[in-house]
Chain A
């Protein structure tokens, strides 16, 4: 069965600074990888996903993530953050064996300081 580990529970950064949110996964088969964002008092929204092809995936709001199969990682990055990026970010993985569900990581709370 697949699993996901988000290495940081909280990440504080200053506005306009770069940020990286780390995600590692484990699976015995090929995987599909996702990043979701949850703004305060809202449901989750999809930021980006990796299904196949280019290992660098671009998403909404200037975020991107890189799939690294050898390191089993899918880290999320943004070169310059804004106050509006304050949210909780979830990495998720699904395998290709028809399992009808995603497995979510524990979440990383990103706090942007002015």
Chain B
């Protein structure tokens, strides 16, 4: 049972480059989330989705875009990477509501030089 899978696990970008992080879940969950984790700041929500074809902004959406074309996949895009986007990115999913258990992927370490 794979759960939530993130690819890639590590990536180094130069300032201005673009990339897409992929999150896939095999639990038929409706809700999916992208968080970033920075030292001393916990996890902050970037964007989330409450179902296929829907997306919404979280706490720190600037500089990121997302898409949920298929229920099982949630993509996070950086159009023009900046050093401030150096972080660990986590994808999560939940069956339905926010007060249910979140299942997390193992994270993507992104460095922007």
A contact residues vs B (CB 8 Å cutoff): 4, 6, 9, 32, 36, 41-46, 49, 51, 90, 94, 96, 99-102, 104-107
Residues of B within 8 A of A41 (CB): 106-107
Task: For the complex formed, measure the closest distance between the CB of B62 and the CB atoms of chain A, giving whole angstroms.
Answer: 17
Q: Which residues in B have some Cβ–Cβ distance to A below 8 Å?
A: 4, 31, 33, 35, 40-45, 48, 50, 56, 58-59, 90, 92, 97-99, 101-102, 104-107
Q: Are B98 and A44 in contact (CB under 8 A)?
A: no
Bound together, the chains give a CA A6 to CA B42 distance in angstroms of 10
Task: Give the residues in chain A near B35, CB-CB below 8 Å.
Answer: 104
Pair B40/A106 contact, Cβ less than 8 Å: yes
**A-side contacts of B102, CB under 8 Å:** 36, 44, 46, 102
Instruction: Apart from A36-B102, A41-B106, A44-B90, list 9 A-B contacts with CB within 8 A.
Output: A6-B42, A43-B105, A44-B102, A46-B101, A51-B99, A100-B50, A100-B97, A101-B33, A104-B35
CA distance A43 to B37 in the complex (A): 11
